[in-house]
Amino acid sequence: MARAISAHTALAGVLGDPVRHSLSPAMHNAALTSLGLNWVYLALPTPAAALETVVKAMETLNCRGLNVTIPHKQAVAALCSELCPLAERLGAVNTLVPRPQGGWLGTNTDVEGFLAPLRNDGDGDAPGWAGRRAVVLGCGGSARAVVAGLVALGCAPISVAARRPEAVAAFVAACRAWAPQLEPLAWEHLGAALAEAALLVNTTPVGMATSGDAEAVDRCPLRPAELDALAVGCTVYDLIYTPRPTALLRAAAARQLPCLDGLEMLVQQGAASLRLWSGLETVPVTAMRDAAITALAASSQGSD
């Protein structure tokens, strides 16, 4: 049953470019319905040139909260009146919370979302990660949140590999102050590192379903020899959730390795954002997850 929209309906949403593919409206509107909040959550396409204008306009409109996705997570930090310590450390913001005195508090719930499935294996007991090696593929914006999560878990060492060595070096240098166990990993040495890894996290877009590129879903960030090098029991975590599973996770499952995709991270970071906006300690995570899965299935069938 559709919710009634009235003159009292409040607005929340997600800023990005592109953003029409986002599952956030489906999962947040399901939660808002469940909670009985008279809010509506919209996808708000925001080109980089319009970011400042849109952020200020949303404040003027008394928007209840905003999520921020690619490519704005770093740029939006400069538009915040205040940053939480985590967002300031990462230099990346994915959630804007209106301040009582005006302006936006910039925070980051991606770390909490990333950690959630690693802290619960479904039986209530997560494996111990302290002192175990983690390998991260990619050094873009989401990799910073991943590394922060791995630091919180106590992983050591944390190795970061990407195709451009200069990008990896810059990434490690930028994070070194708060991630001393972080080390650059040359791609040609990836196999040896994977043989010792307890956790592999893919933050690259390789294997993501891309409009107009039917072959994208069959791409894997690792070569067969690198896949074969994965340690027995290594958990493989791909932040991509479309398709489900990705080529990487299909290959990992064929080797009987534990697998995680990015859908739960999406749900949990969204739930964390909603708690901040609403002031509620408990939000309907199950309803959010179910709505996201339903929307994802519909989009894979070509539905709007």
Catalytic residues: 73
Q: Which helix (H) or strand (E) segment is 95 a member of?
A: strand 95-98
Residues 266, 232: contact at Cβ < 8 Å?
A: no
Classified as helix, coil or strand, 198 is strand
* Identity of the amino acid at 44: L
Comparing CA positions, the residue from 223, 228, 244, 224 lying closest to residue 297 is 244
What is the DSSP-derived secondary structure letter of residue 74? T
Interatomic CA distance for residues 304 and 295, integer angstroms: 9
Interatomic CA distance for residues 65 and 96, integer angstroms: 6
Beta bridge partners of 105: 82, 97
Q: What is the DSSP string of 112-162?
A: HHHHGGGG--SSS-PPP-TT-EEEEE--SHHHHHHHHHHHHHT-SSEEEE-
Q: Tokens representing 111?
A: 């770390």
Comparing CA positions, the residue from 132, 141, 146, 81 lying closest to residue 107 is 81
Q: Tokens representing 147?
A: 């590394």
What is the DSSP-derived secondary structure letter of residue 226? H
